[in-house]
């Protein structure tokens, strides 16, 4: 059970690892592109390529879905980046339902663990497999693997790196459960932290914050929902940045040089904006932005 690209390596590894994948449950096709034509999402595309049966319920509470899954007499549900399963579905598989979660649970429970780990400047994260229960990300732990975060890594880059590692961990978990060699253990409730779904406004840059906090938010919201600031009455997206020297009023442009680029003051220190995207345009280097747009020292971002 899964939908986005993050779940595809897990499906492929399970299908290639000697396990019988009876069916794949994924979300309905969604409108995509300018024509808004219905198109399959990544897990469905992979499942069809593997010749697997695909189930796309409009809602997980549909009686027909539970009946169809029950008829397969499943040993296990493997769940990666999917919706919360209702109790009738959780009761079906003989060995329970295993979820792959990209954090070291109980840290960062919720929909966006990778993004929040990067925003908070974490130097490490990880992957956890656990048994699903009705509480979100609160089931008993099975296996975990720690993974370091590169200081320059964006959330998108980290997600792409975690996906195949998570697939391997999931397969080891499924194998271990089948062999009866994994003992579930309770999560430490004193260490719980949350990772809620982000809104577009979570990408707004508050230049009163320190440079490092802003740099981490830019990394963490890349590619979604995207970091942005106000500039000359419109929005300027900021995709990448580096620490820079200089001080000034937060949001003030300290340097706008055609070769060196764009340096902006923060609440503590400054940032060199190395990749930006003006409204309606493609991403460009900060130096190219200075050469092509009327930005100069003394201007203010965020107003």
pLDDT digits (tens, 9 = 90+) for 275-297: 999 999 999 999 999 999 999 99
Nearest residue to 129 via CA among 270, 298, 14: 14
Whether 303 has a pLDDT exceeding 90, the answer reads no
Q: What is the pLDDT of residue 162?
A: 98
Residue 32 above 90 pLDDT?
A: no
Which residue, among 109, 105, 130, has the nearest Cα to 182 in the 3D structure? 130
Q: What pTM was computed for the model?
A: 0.96
Q: Which residue, chain included where needed, has tokens 């009686």? A: 63
pLDDT in tens, 61-87: 998 999 999 999 999 999 999 999 999
Q: Which residues, 6 or more positions from 199, have their beta carbon under 8 angstroms from its beta carbon? A: 225
pLDDT at res. 206: 98
- pLDDT over 80 (residue 33): no
What pLDDT, on a 0 to 100 scale, did the predictor assign at position 24?
Answer: 98
Q: What mean pLDDT is reported for the chain?
A: 96
Report d(CA 244, CA 256) in Å as an integer.
Answer: 13
Indicate the pLDDT class of residue 39, thresholds 50, 70 and 90: confident
Distance of alpha carbon 183 from alpha carbon 98, whole angstroms: 13
Can you tell me the distance from the alpha carbon of 132 to that of 60, in angstroms, rounded to the nearest whole number? Answer: 15
Q: How far is CA 230 from CA 98, 140, 203, 206, 250, in A?
A: 44, 45, 12, 10, 13
pLDDT value of residue 34? 72
Contact, 255 vs 286, CB < 8 A? no
Residue 47 corresponds to which tokens in the numbers above? 């499942």
Question: How wide is the angle at C-alpha 217 spanned by C-alphas 3 and 101, nearest 5°?
Answer: 35
CA distance 144 to 153: 21
The predicted structure's pLDDT at residue 141: 98
Report the distance separating Cα 229 and Cα 277, nearest Å: 11
What does the DSSP assignment read for 145-165?
EEEE--TT--HHHHHHHHHHH
Predicted pLDDT of residue 221: 98
Q: How far is CA 175 from the centre of its chain?
A: 26
Asked whether residue 172 carries a pLDDT value surpassing 90, the answer given is yes
Map out the domains of the chain with their CATH numbers. Answer: 5-191 (3.40.50.170), 200-292 (3.10.25.10)
What are 220-242's pLDDT values in tens digits? 999 999 999 999 999 999 999 99
C-alpha–C-alpha distance, residues 223 and 118, integer Å: 12
Q: Return the pLDDT at 258.
A: 96
User: Which token pair is 142?
Assistant: 């099975």
């Amino acid at each position: 059970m899964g939908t986005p690209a993050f779940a595809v390596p897990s499906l492929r590894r399970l299908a290639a690892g000697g396990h019988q994948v009876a069916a794949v449950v994924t979300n309905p096709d969604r409108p995509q592109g300018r024509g808004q034509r219905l198109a399959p999402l990544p897990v469905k595309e992979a499942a069809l390529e593997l010749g697997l049966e695909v189930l796309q319920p409009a809602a997980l509470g549909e009686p027909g879905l539970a009946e169809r899954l029950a008829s397969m007499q499943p040993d296990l549900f493997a769940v990666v980046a999917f919706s919360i399963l209702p109790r009738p579905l959780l009761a079906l598989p003989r060995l329970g339902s295993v979820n792959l979660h990209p954090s070291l649970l109980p840290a960062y429970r919720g929909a966006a663990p990778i993004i929040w780990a990067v925003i908070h400047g974490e130097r490490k994260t990880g992957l956890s497999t656990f048994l699903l229960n009705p509480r979100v990300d609160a089931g008993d732990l099975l296996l975990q693997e720690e993974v370091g975060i590169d200081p320059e890594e964006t959330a998108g880059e980290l997600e792409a790196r975690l996906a195949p590692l998570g697939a391997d961990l999931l397969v080891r978990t499924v194998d271990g459960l089948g062999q009866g060699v994994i003992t579930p253990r309770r999560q430490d409730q004193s260490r719980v932290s949350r990772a809620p779904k982000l809104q577009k406004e979570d990408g707004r840059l508050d230049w009163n914050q320190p440079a490092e906090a802003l740099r981490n938010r830019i990394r963490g919201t890349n590619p979604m929902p995207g970091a942005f600031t106000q500039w000359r009455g419109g929005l300027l997206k900021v995709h990448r940045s580096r620490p820079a020297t200089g001080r000034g009023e937060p949001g003030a442009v300290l340097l706008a040089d055609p070769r060196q680029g764009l340096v902006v003051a923060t609440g503590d220190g400054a940032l060199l904006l190395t990749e930006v995207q003006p409204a309606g345009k493609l991403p460009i280097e900060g130096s190219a932005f200075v050469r092509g747009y009327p930005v100069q020292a003394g201007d203010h971002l965020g107003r």
